[in-house]
């Protein structure tokens, strides 16, 4: 089982240099967003691509079509998400009316990766609408 640690704003500022600017409503949604991401990562660790696919937005589900194709993309394109050694939640940001959760992942080899999860809220709650790999600050490992 991987360890999920709560984020602290100072760590995020050191790692990525991005300032916070959340509305009170966005701050209230931060824990729900983190729960969705944690649940998807747990599903990947359990090789449960159906459960992981359920956390993807309708747009992502249309792009990949099946949980198996989605799982294959994550396994090949985001191996640090497929099998993380450690996950640390950083800041939640609001930009252009959208929420982004920054996550630091340590892979099995010990390398750090900063990922930006774009989130979208729908009738069934928060869904992951995309993940972008960001470069960590020099010396962050």
135 touches 114 (CB < 8 A): yes
> Is a pLDDT exceeding 70 seen at residue 17?
no
pLDDT (0 to 100) of residue 135 = 74
Count CB-CB contacts under 10 A for residue 54.
16
Residues 35-84 have pLDDT tens digits of 999 999 999 999 999 999 999 999 999 999 999 999 999 999 999 999 99
CB atoms within 10 A of CB 77: 11
Q: What residue ranges define each of the domains in the chain, with the CATH number in brackets?
A: 3-134 (3.10.450)
- Dihedral pair phi/psi, residue 120, rounded to 5°: -135, 140
Q: Could you tell me the pTM of the whole model? A: 0.80
Can you tell me the distance from the alpha carbon of 13 to that of 120, in angstroms, rounded to the nearest whole number? 24
The token pair that represents 125 in the structure block: 């709650």
What is the rounded distance in angstroms from the CA atom of residue 96 to the CA atom of residue 19? 15
- Over residues 105-118, the pLDDT tens digits come to 999 999 999 999 99
- Residue 25: which residues within 8 A CB-CB, separation 6 or more? none
């Amino acid at each position: 089982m991987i360890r999920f640690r709560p984020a602290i704003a100072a760590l995020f500022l050191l790692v990525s240099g991005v300032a916070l600017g959340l509305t009170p409503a966005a701050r209230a949604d931060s824990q729900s967003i983190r729960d969705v991401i944690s649940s998807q990562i747990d599903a990947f660790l359990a090789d449960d691509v159906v459960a992981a696919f359920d956390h993807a937005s309708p747009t992502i589900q249309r792009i990949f079509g099946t949980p198996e194709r989605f799982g294959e993309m994550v396994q090949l394109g985001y191996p640090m998400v497929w099998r993380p050694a450690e996950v640390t939640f950083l800041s939640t940001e609001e930009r252009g009316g959208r929420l982004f959760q920054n996550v630091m992942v340590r892979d099995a080899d010990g390398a750090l990766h900063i990922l930006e999860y774009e989130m979208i809220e729908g009738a069934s709650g928060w869904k992951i609408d995309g993940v972008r790999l960001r470069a960590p600050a020099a010396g962050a490992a």
